[in-house]
Amino acid sequence: MKNARQLLEKELKAALAELADLEKRLEVKGDYGLGIGDPNIIQWELNLALRDRVARKVEDIKKALERLDKGEYGVCEACGKPIEEGRLELLPYTTLCSKCAQLRR
């Protein structure tokens, strides 16, 4: 894949911006108390889950950049075969070909 680095760096930049936004949203937490419940706590918990998901994505992208530097990018970590180019275009940080990904479901 020719533009793998550019695509990964673009994905990383977007994910880091999303992560920063979620961190900012998490600064304000709803109030819990006996008989008191803030409806905003549900949104806070959702943002917490989203932040964790985006943080994992950031780590996955960084690992993909490392694999690119090592010449290991685009190779399935399970079977060792090349990952389909279309799959890499959709999920540039994936480590599995579509066949192995389906087997892990």
pLDDT score of 37: 64
Backbone angles phi and psi of 60, in degrees to 5: -65, -40
Question: What pLDDT score does 31 carry?
Answer: 67
What domain count does the chain have? 1
* Domain span including residue 83: 4-103
CB count in 10 Å sphere of residue 10: 13
Among candidate residues 69, 75, 68, the one with its CA nearest the CA of residue 95:
75
Q: Tens of pLDDT along the chain (105 residues)?
A: 669 999 999 999 999 999 999 999 998 876 666 666 667 788 888 999 999 999 999 999 999 999 999 999 999 999 999 999 999 999 999 999 999 999 987
CATH number at residue 11: 1.20.120.910
Task: Say how far apart CA 10 and CA 1 lie, in whole Å.
Answer: 15
Q: Identify the burial level of 74 via C-beta atoms within 10 angstroms of its C-beta, where 0-12 means exposed, 13-18 middle and 19 or more buried.
A: buried
Question: What is the structure's pLDDT at 104?
Answer: 87
